[in-house]
Structure 1
């Protein structure tokens, strides 16, 4: 019988500690009562997801919130708004604005001015918006809301007055700022139409600047509709200008091919000497738009147009334009042209801020054009690269192309060039591929040389942490148990099993000297159980979130049944190469839906830890998830596949979003594929890529063993899918089944001891 793991008592301890601790700048929870409940019970029930306690909060008597700490009025106001009680929520947000410290005061004010509970045309709304503008000149969201109201109600003079007051603040925003775009649009249109509908003076320049200074955006689609409807205003612009304006509108609406037609024609006219369009076409925004449209539509002529514009520019602008042209040539497959243009850009910009990106795209084109030739140029390329990390994906792409081409000698040469330069994950992956090739007899080497190379490659792969899969397989081939590859830290005796790893064994923790606002909010959302907002904060402020907060957030999310979010909360630390204790590793590799798995495993002869790993990697234990291809549920099954297997199982009326049905059908499908293909590794490949593809790969490499077959998989998604399942299965087997990670690798790849 499989191990059953009940909800950890550690989760309860975390929650109790959290509810009684100081939260950011918030005061500790008071032992007093709030709205008829003990304060700690009120907060604990919210954290557990019990929204019924909010029924105790009256619409008018809200000051008990002050007993809960500095963050309470803002958090409870947010909760009430989210649950449909906007008027009461607005009162609490007003209380937070009046009494709370930053950052809650600022957030409360921004929430207030965006609430439907305060009529946008009321004096109260205008006063709040102006308070926000005065107090927070670097945050113009309130200004935008007020200006939007004036604009929609055709109070154009008020728009001009309001934006005049904040002109310096608006100008300080980046051109990519949506707030700046919208305010600029409203000001330009209001300048064109004064309150009585006549034409105002001096409006053409600001209107034209909307097209010159900003990237194609939804506002350009709205502006085009406005131009079409306003014949008098449209008449102020030439046909060439209108063609350029229309290009922006088309690109904003996703019609890249039509947009490029118009951009290219505009560029042709400027190259021919048209001065009227010059400032529009040569602007940074226009060149970027032509680049984006050319990439999206895969248009060679967009690259040619950009290349023709470069001589009209100088300095960084000329270099950037050539880079744009080279990148489009690369995407459309014109790699020789890409290398030519990017080399020309490098000649005039070596050592500039474009130097490394130009080298990356040039080397990428060389790799795509001829991997073997790219290997020959590696010594020169490596000598000019500043940061190996930024080139890791490119080096892996080169290695993958050489593997698929069975060019093992070039791969070996590439490894030698990169050995003292590339990152650990790149070297480990190449080393493992070379080992598989040696074991499969792909090199004509003397026995002693082959053994020396094999040992060298395996030690390199086994001795690093960046690529857990490579470390696991290398350790297995070296006859080790593979435990070190899992990078589990020992628990600290003074802190308990949930403590973070010692400093010497963990990645640098993302804790800043001054706690970021995002971290303060994350602690507040954690404290009051706003899991949607908590998950969003963890995603957007990854590097700023302290490790202890991530662990606590993961525990709460797991306790609330939000398993996928619980796992995701810990992913930043794992990606940074940190070591987990076994207890925290179980939070990252949980036995979710254990009853459903037990029933499926009683019925099917599949490796239990492989099944858990497969489901984890397919859906992250989200039973409602669906893929763009149409796969549904925990096991991510296509409906047609599920229908066939359900018929074999005689399951009537199954539901792929039901965990029991999905795991049951997925387990049978995995068992069938393992029987059909002979090994778990090939079954996993077929589960991801389809049986037909695996059969085709088998015909292309009929004598490949399991490790070499995996290396030869031409689909990156499938290749990586197998890697991820192997790593997850190794963790599951070790954490719950007392199985050495190497035994899991042997079972999946059918390796002998």
Structure 2
């Protein structure tokens, strides 16, 4: 697997085999892969046999892998074996798995089979020594379900320990639906009911229980108070009541009385701060509570969370207050990226108040403490304001250039790097190098066994398995190398038909790897990250409506990530995410009486027409057309007028973007400019500076 060229060759063979009818291959066609994968090959070939309806042959192959395969192939073979065969055969597979591996992954597979077979005694025996406060949630759920079925007296005590020791999950909610009911009146059941209400956002109902819960765990001490109960009490008060000050005092009392549990103290001060902040009448009290929460935080994420709320609340006082607090506490920040949205808020505030010189103060305060994304934004804007003469400088040209060069030294948004490259007058090769330079994750840890499993799905022609398994691993903290991600992404992209989700899956896999890359991306990886899917349809629509292909590809990538059947929560449909009302108007203009927005060709044609129409209506400005595509032409015209009031003759497109009141639309514009530059650079031999200047009318 270490020879990436061999891997690409093998995947090319698999794709060719698909084209000529791979499904008819017999086992002899897998000889080279058997040599590569050894006993693990039985798992993959078994999957193919199962798909072909040969369950007996598949079962034999899974059993062979279970006996001699490597860890992940054994686990996955066991998962398959417990799905078919007689009950005894399924249980036998579990015993063999547990004999080989006794970890939680193996235990969970066995428990699932025992649960389906109604083998509650086996479940209880296998989980007897499990710690309910730290085991996998599904292990806890299955054990508790078995206790409930057996009417075991331990059920309530163990369920209570599980429900009150950690954050609520889908597994907890599922168990609740199956076991705990509203009619149970014990103190423990009432607290579980309370937590379920908060989990399901039934805050009014939860707040109705608040006094009783407080009586139980605080006043009478019938049951011990936990950090999770305090957290849910805080949410109930925040969203289920308007008595913010009164309830804030309750939480400060909880914090003051607690002597040992720092998580309880943190949550109590944190929610007291949230409540004082929401009351918007006692900022000093809110600040005091957040600072105390930070002082007791047991993890970096908790410290950052309290500081984030402190900084955001302080913005209502002034930007100066917020930045003063940031400078006070910046040394202890754990994850600078956590504060990117906070700094995003500051930019339009300063611009709307014509506080040009404050950009230098903020830039100096964040450099070295905020994320590269935030530092890059302020460096670029500081340089631009110096350029425009809005910030006084003894050597404005040098000052601006230094700021732009600082942007290029950071792993910040491609948008700001591209604009800085233009401002510095870099040639095309230098600009191309700048926008393709990504940060390298120095803490990357490669898991060769995980990558071996995932790559096997591609090599054995099992595309449907890749994305779900990749998602499971990455959701649990596993990192995938760029070379592995590129192989998986390339396989899915080449095998996609345009009517399935493989295009979108391909893009998500390579995008995740690129965001935390272990090595620089090569040309092939960049093209997977910015693919030209639906090339025929895009080319035809661009020719029909006079749009650059790079721009239309950028629009599709930004809107849908090439998922052709996606429907947003607002109802926008398909690759270019058009609303039905907009599509109806387009259909009339294109004289279409019948259309389907989930048909890729139709959706691309309608999206291209609409973008061309907006561009023409907005003075041939692609950038303002992008904004209008996202937020509506009426809003964009108002924003343009407002920017002229705020910036006067300095209302250039890059500064105009920063004055837009919606962060979503600001980010949308940045993404489209970046993606357009990438596509133009990768496929159309168009210089990056030329693309940026054309889109921004500079």
**Where on the TM-score scale, by shorter chain, does this alignment land: which range?**
0.7 to 0.9
Kindly indicate whether the alpha-carbon contact (under 8 Å) linking 1:224 and 1:245 is maintained by their aligned counterparts in 2: no
- Call closer, same or farther: CA 1:287–1:92 in 2, change over 3 Å: farther
CA distance in 2, matches of 1:260, 1:144: 37
Instruction: Please give the secondary structure, in 2, of the residue aligned with 1:656.
Output: coil
Structure 1 counterpart of 2:635, from 669, 693, 696: 693
Alignment of 1:239-254 (within 5 A): 240-254=187-201
Displacement after TM superposition at 1:46 (Å): 6.5
Displacement after TM superposition at 1:83 (Å): 6.0
Structure 2 counterpart of 1:680, from 622, 644, 661: 622
Displacement after TM superposition at 1:389 (Å): 4.7
CA distance in 2, matches of 1:351, 1:723: 33
Instruction: Please give the secondary structure, in 2, of the residue aligned with 1:701.
Output: helix
Q: Which residue of 1 aligns with 2:554?
A: 613
CA distance in 1, matches of 2:694, 2:72: 53
- The more displaced of 664-673 and 126-135 is 126-135
Kindly indicate whether the alpha-carbon contact (under 8 Å) linking 2:66 and 2:74 is maintained by their aligned counterparts in 1: yes
CA distance in 2, matches of 1:570, 1:741: 23
Q: Which residue of 2 aligns with 1:468?
A: 414
Instruction: Please give the secondary structure, in 2, of the residue aligned with 1:626.
Output: coil
Kindly indicate whether the alpha-carbon contact (under 8 Å) linking 1:220 and 1:249 is maintained by their aligned counterparts in 2: yes
CA distance in 2, matches of 1:87, 1:255: 50
- The more displaced of 345-354 and 390-399 is 345-354
Instruction: Please give the secondary structure, in 2, of the residue aligned with 1:507.
Output: coil
Q: Which residue of 1 aligns with 2:268?
A: 322
Please state if 1:286 is matched with 2:237: no
Cα displacement string for residues 335-365 of structure 1 (whole angstroms, at most 9, x for unaligned residues): 8253231123345669999545443443343
Q: Which residue of 2 aligns with 1:560?
A: 495
- Call closer, same or farther: CA 1:435–1:203 in 2, change over 3 Å: closer
Q: Which residue of 1 aligns with 2:323?
A: 375
Q: Which residue of 2 aligns with 1:96?
A: 65
Q: Which residue of 2 aligns with 1:5?
A: none
- Call closer, same or farther: CA 1:80–1:223 in 2, change over 3 Å: same
Give the gaps of 5 or more residues in structure 1. Answer: 1-11, 21-40, 193-200, 491-500
Kindly indicate whether the alpha-carbon contact (under 8 Å) linking 1:175 and 1:181 is maintained by their aligned counterparts in 2: no
Alignment of 1:144-155 (within 5 A): 144-149=111-116
Displacement after TM superposition at 1:725 (Å): 1.0
Q: Which residue of 2 aligns with 1:519?
A: 451
- Call closer, same or farther: CA 1:707–1:249 in 2, change over 3 Å: closer
Q: Which residue of 2 aligns with 1:34?
A: none
More helix as a share of residues: 2
Cα displacement string for residues 139-187 of structure 1 (whole angstroms, at most 9, x for unaligned residues): 221442255246xx5xxxx63564245322x227715622113313422
- Call closer, same or farther: CA 1:431–1:564 in 2, change over 3 Å: same
Kindly indicate whether the alpha-carbon contact (under 8 Å) linking 1:525 and 1:531 is maintained by their aligned counterparts in 2: yes
Q: Which residue of 2 aligns with 1:457?
A: 403
Q: Which residue of 2 aligns with 1:411?
A: 359
Whose radius of gyration is greater, 1 or 2? 1
- The more displaced of 358-367 and 342-351 is 342-351
Please state if 1:713 is matched with 2:660: yes
Kindly indicate whether the alpha-carbon contact (under 8 Å) linking 2:111 and 2:142 is maintained by their aligned counterparts in 1: yes
Structure 2 counterpart of 1:18, from 7, 10, 33: 10
CA distance in 2, matches of 1:177, 1:203: 15
CA distance in 1, matches of 2:460, 2:443: 23
Give the gaps of 5 or more residues in structure 2. Answer: 497-501
Alignment of 1:247-326 (within 5 A): 247-268=194-215, 270-271=217-218, 273-276=219-222, 278-279=223-224, 282-291=225-234, 293=236, 305-315=250-260, 316-326=262-272
CA distance in 2, matches of 1:85, 1:545: 33
Q: Which residue of 2 aligns with 1:53?
A: 24
Cα displacement string for residues 503-541 of structure 1 (whole angstroms, at most 9, x for unaligned residues): xx972488747x443212111112123223222344444
Kindly indicate whether the alpha-carbon contact (under 8 Å) linking 1:212 and 1:286 is maintained by their aligned counterparts in 2: yes
Kindly indicate whether the alpha-carbon contact (under 8 Å) linking 1:618 and 1:636 is maintained by their aligned counterparts in 2: yes
Q: Which residue of 2 aligns with 1:195?
A: none
- Call closer, same or farther: CA 1:188–1:291 in 2, change over 3 Å: farther
TM-score by length of 1: 0.79
CA distance in 1, matches of 2:64, 2:71: 13
Structure 1 counterpart of 2:150, from 180, 186, 190: 190
- Call closer, same or farther: CA 1:362–1:99 in 2, change over 3 Å: same
- Call closer, same or farther: CA 1:103–1:345 in 2, change over 3 Å: closer
Structure 2 counterpart of 1:137, from 89, 98, 102: 102
CA distance in 1, matches of 2:528, 2:194: 51
Kindly indicate whether the alpha-carbon contact (under 8 Å) linking 1:295 and 1:331 is maintained by their aligned counterparts in 2: no
Q: Which residue of 2 aligns with 1:37?
A: none
Q: Which residue of 2 aligns with 1:647?
A: 588
CA distance in 1, matches of 2:401, 2:241: 46
- Call closer, same or farther: CA 1:357–1:604 in 2, change over 3 Å: closer
Alignment of 1:631-670 (within 5 A): 631-670=572-611
Alignment of 1:25-36 (within 5 A): none
Q: Which residue of 2 aligns with 1:27?
A: none
Alignment of 1:387-536 (within 5 A): 388-439=336-387, 442-443=390-391, 445=392, 448-481=394-427, 483-487=429-433, 507-508=440-441, 512=445, 515-536=447-468
Displacement after TM superposition at 1:619 (Å): 1.8
- Call closer, same or farther: CA 1:354–1:564 in 2, change over 3 Å: closer
Instruction: Please give the secondary structure, in 1, of the residue aligned with 2:617.
Output: helix
Structure 2 counterpart of 1:550, from 485, 496, 506: 485
Cα displacement string for residues 93-150 of structure 1 (whole angstroms, at most 9, x for unaligned residues): 223223433331232123322x0x234xx33333333343443322221442255246
Q: Which residue of 1 aligns with 2:44?
A: 75
CA distance in 2, matches of 1:652, 1:632: 18
- Call closer, same or farther: CA 1:17–1:173 in 2, change over 3 Å: farther
Please state if 1:108 is matched with 2:41: no
Instruction: Please give the secondary structure, in 2, of the residue aligned with 1:111.
Output: helix
CA distance in 2, matches of 1:535, 1:312: 49
Structure 1 counterpart of 2:127, from 166, 172, 175: 166
- The more displaced of 220-229 and 723-732 is 220-229
Please state if 1:629 is matched with 2:570: yes
Structure 1 counterpart of 2:526, from 580, 585, 589: 585
RMSD (CA atoms): 3.8
- The more displaced of 630-639 and 392-401 is 392-401
Kindly indicate whether the alpha-carbon contact (under 8 Å) linking 2:265 and 2:293 is maintained by their aligned counterparts in 1: yes
Kindly indicate whether the alpha-carbon contact (under 8 Å) linking 1:601 and 1:608 is maintained by their aligned counterparts in 2: yes
Displacement after TM superposition at 1:253 (Å): 4.3
Displacement after TM superposition at 1:625 (Å): 2.0
Q: Which residue of 1 aligns with 2:499?
A: none
Instruction: Please give the secondary structure, in 1, of the residue aligned with 2:357.
Output: helix
CA distance in 1, matches of 2:632, 2:32: 60
CA distance in 2, matches of 1:222, 1:550: 36
- Call closer, same or farther: CA 1:203–1:14 in 2, change over 3 Å: closer
CA distance in 1, matches of 2:372, 2:339: 12
Displacement after TM superposition at 1:368 (Å): 5.2
CA distance in 2, matches of 1:402, 1:681: 23
- Call closer, same or farther: CA 1:82–1:740 in 2, change over 3 Å: same
Cα displacement string for residues 444-471 of structure 1 (whole angstroms, at most 9, x for unaligned residues): x36x454443233222223434321111
Cα displacement string for residues 3-47 of structure 1 (whole angstroms, at most 9, x for unaligned residues): xxxxxxxxx987762269xxxxxxxxxxxxxxxxxxxx7x66666
Kindly indicate whether the alpha-carbon contact (under 8 Å) linking 2:215 and 2:221 is maintained by their aligned counterparts in 1: no
Displacement after TM superposition at 1:718 (Å): 1.0
- Call closer, same or farther: CA 1:147–1:582 in 2, change over 3 Å: closer
- Call closer, same or farther: CA 1:207–1:705 in 2, change over 3 Å: closer
Displacement after TM superposition at 1:473 (Å): 0.6
- Call closer, same or farther: CA 1:82–1:645 in 2, change over 3 Å: same
CA distance in 1, matches of 2:463, 2:316: 44
